[in-house]
Amino acid sequence: MELIKVQGIYGALRVTASSGRGKRCIKGALLFMIIICLSCQSGIVYHPAKEIRATPSKIKLPYNDLYLVTSDNVTIHGWWVPAQNGKGTVLFCHGNAGNISHRLETVLLLNKLDLNVLIFDYRGFGKSEGSPSEEGTYRDAEAAWNYVTTIQKKDPKKVIIHGRSLGGAVASWLAVKHTPSMLIIESSFTSMRDIARHHCSFTPALAIISYEYNSLEKVKDLRCPLLIIHSTDDEVIPYAHGQRLYAAAGEPKELVTITGTHNRGFWDSKTLYLEALRQFADKNLK
């Protein structure tokens, strides 16, 4: 999750406010900044990469290249990576930057747990068509769910929805709409407005954020077990966001605390990380 800071802009615009002309200048400048923020929101939230740098064959895993069509006729790209003795399936929703080729370490770890993996790129990422949006990411995730449950014919009671960073919000939406065996939210935020407030003190801009990604409200409606994984060292999304998500959700739920940076915590803490995933999956896969 990468967010651009515009800290201090509002304070800088408070000069010469005593005169009428100064006030008009400030209002004009604020209006200009708000328009800029509105037009740039997508570029602030999403950082897609188009080049696929590697495939699961690099980590010696068989896979199928997939092209899925969403409900609004956008073609998105993904990989189906079967496990040799798949005891369940993970539908993985990645974060706001890069593409699926940057998540091979994650695919490898999940495969080691004897879990099939469907990992996909949101529209505008990698080989997927279109441009990203909040509604678009939800439609993309639903296309992935439909593939797992209708094409691969996996029982929802054997499907784990797993989202990291921005993907945690997408995964939360999907898990409320379609009840899986469990939901995993990793290194994610309570809402887009909350994380923007943490990174940006420009109050007028915060007032017009059009993205919600409100996981805090979503987890209240979950009808499946929830595992939250968050690092106390997370420099992008504070650990407190994981704690708040945990507090808002009903039982059964677990909070696993790891260490390491936002992007590398799962790998730096992989022994703890893998054991937490293993235990939670074994307990809740029916």
**Any idea where the domains of the chain sit in the sequence?**
45-284
Catalytic residue among 121, 140, 194, 234: 234
pLDDT at res. 18: 44
CA-based end-to-end distance of the chain:
33
Q: Is 165 a catalytic residue?
A: yes
pLDDT greater at residue 43 or residue 99: 99
Task: Please tell me the predicted confidence (pLDDT) of residue 206.
Answer: 53
The pLDDT value recorded for residue 212 is 87
Give me the mean pLDDT over the 109-134 stretch. 97
139 and 74 Cβ atoms separated by less than 8 Å: yes
Q: Is the dihedral of CA 133, 136, 142, 147 positive or negative?
A: negative
In whole angstroms, how far apart are CA 138 and each of 44, 71, 143, 145, 168? 18, 10, 9, 11, 11
pTM above 0.75, yes or no: yes
Residue 109 has a CB neighbour count (10 Å cut-off) of 17
Average pLDDT over residues 219-244: 96
166: helix, strand or coil: helix
Residue in 165, 181, 215, 231 annotated catalytic:
165
Q: What is the pLDDT of residue 43?
A: 58
pLDDT exceeds 60 at position 36: no
pLDDT score of 177:
97
262 catalytic per annotation? yes
| Spatial distance between the Cα atoms of 245 and 191, rounded to a whole number of angstroms | 10
CA angle (152, 215, 76) in 5-degree steps: 40
| Beta carbons of 78 and 120 less than 8 angstroms apart | yes
13-29 pLDDT, tens digit per residue, is: 333 344 555 555 544 44
Chain centre distance of CA 78: 16
**Average pLDDT of the chain?**
86
In the predicted structure, residue 3 carries a pLDDT above the cut 70: no
Query: In the chain, pLDDT over 70 holds for what percent of residues?
Result: 81
Q: For the domain with range 45-284, which CATH number is right: 3.30.390.30, 3.40.50.1820, 3.40.50.720, 1.10.460.10?
A: 3.40.50.1820
11 band by pLDDT with thresholds 50, 70 and 90:
very low
Active-site residue, from 128, 178, 262, 269: 262
